[in-house]
Amino acid sequence: MNRLTEAEARSEYDKLVPIMALEGRTMDAASQAVFVEYLQDKLTIDDLVAIAKRRNGVTA
Angle, to 10 degrees, between the axis of helix 6-22 and the axis of helix 29-39?
120
- What Cα–Cα distance (Å) separates residue 45 from each residue in 21, 35, 52? 23, 11, 10
| pLDDT reading at 1 higher than 80 | no
Of the pLDDT bands very low, low, confident and very high (cuts 50, 70, 90), residue 15 is very high
- pTM of the predicted protein model: 0.81
pLDDT digits (tens, 9 = 90+) for 25-52: 999 999 999 999 999 999 999 999 999 9
